[in-house]
Homo-oligomer: A and B are copies of this chain.
Amino acid sequence: MSVTAPAGFEAAGVAAGLKSTGKPDVAVVVNRGPRKVGAAVFTSNRAKANPIIWSQQVIQDRVVEAVVLNSGGANCFTGAFGFQTTHQTAEKAAELLDISAGDVLVCSTGLIGTGDETFRSRVLAGTEQAIAELSADGGDSAAQAIMTTDTVAKTAVISRDGWTIGGMAKGAGMLAPGLATMLVVITTDADLEALEADTALRAATGRTFDRLDSDGCMSTNDQVTLLANAASGVKPDLADFSAALRELCQELAVKLQGDAEGASHDITIRVTNAATEQDAVEVGRSVARNNLFKAAIFGNDPNWGRVLAAIGTTNAQFDPYDVDVWMNGVRVCTQGGPDRPREDVDLAPRATDVLIDLKVGDAEATILTNDLTHDYVHENSAYSS
């Protein structure tokens, strides 16, 4: 059900010919109210796609009635023509839904530089078709239409006392924070004020999607949107809602990690006893981005030296000779020297745990990443051809 699990939302996904495979590639999500609260976070990449530039304007008043999403083309670095395409997409949706274009978010994903006249006409036709097919059961078809190299649609639903949160996500490559290459739409029928929605969304994404760093590459098109319509009539405790939202975001983040391009290991890097949470994040991210470490995990090699070499490039507070490293429950390095033999570590399972104990404070953070594999190289060397 994904985004249509909460009351008062409709969605659809259709095939508009943007993907050469003929699979669904345009999705629309509509909030039928009564409230039209919207919150969104965007890529921090300074090279922003046209839909990002548009949507950052739309979200200013925190009112969103619809989201139009397409795969099969990022509409990024496509010039003024590309921005007009985004604008026309919002206008088209607004006209058909009898709402304001200024309340329509647009999201695009696919190859950068794609956004010609054919792209435009197909996105506009797909928008029209999707709106014609909107239904309260359309969440799953919408989730399928935003897939690119994803092998499975990613959805999640959490229900609490009288209210529900539903979400859909896409993302398989260029997964790195600020945010990852992800498009996410989350809906809820809980009754939230606009500022509450914004605060809860930023808190949730900051510790979930922003800590997914599959390949260190930051996208130009990332957007995570929360729509809240109060259709349940229930005003949740804000702490409860925030916890549920974070849980849902984490579930989607883990699904993105599990479907990352070419990956054969899902690596959870937990950094403990850091001086600050920021230090823990910096250390975890540095290890997550170390190609030598990532290739070693692919080879089932518990090469803890590469972990320490990565930690050494950070500004975090630590003593290189008082760090412990555990892999899948085995302490392979203690106090800057070898501990238990590498043969004791079983890296055959897809789920891989790396624990780094910095021994200087009590802060911690967890970064999710993947290994560096032949399939990753293959998929990304052939993606645009």
Binding site for B on A (CB under 8 A): 45-48, 74, 76-79, 82, 111-113, 173-174, 178, 215-220, 289-292, 295-296, 298-299, 301, 303-306, 308-314, 320-321, 333, 335-338, 342, 372-374, 376-378, 380-385
Contact = CB atoms under 8 A, between A and B. Distances in A.
Contact of A304 (B113, B173, B216, B305): B113
A112 B79 CA distance: 49
A383 B308 contact: no
Contacts of A380: 291-292, 295-296, 299, 372
A378 B374 contact: yes
Given A308-B112, A337-B77, A301 B47 contact: no
Contacts of A217: 290-292, 306, 309-310
Nearest to A219: B309
Given A295-B381, A320-B48, A306 B112 contact: yes
A292 B220 CA distance: 13
A337 to B, nearest CB: 4
Given A220-B308, A299-B383, A299-B385, 11 more contacts: A47-B308, A74-B305, A112-B308, A112-B309, A291-B291, A295-B381, A301-B385, A303-B384, A374-B374, A374-B377, A377-B377
A245 B159 CA distance: 68
B78 A292 contact: no
Given A303-B384, A377-B377, A45 B313 contact: yes
B320 A47 contact: yes
A305 B113 contact: yes
Contact of A79 (B289, B299, B301, B336): B336
In order of increasing CB-CB distance, the 4 nearest A-B pairs are A112-B305, A299-B381, A47-B312, A295-B380
A302 to B, nearest CB: 9
B382 A312 contact: no
Given A77-B337, A374-B378, A384-B296, A220 B312 contact: yes
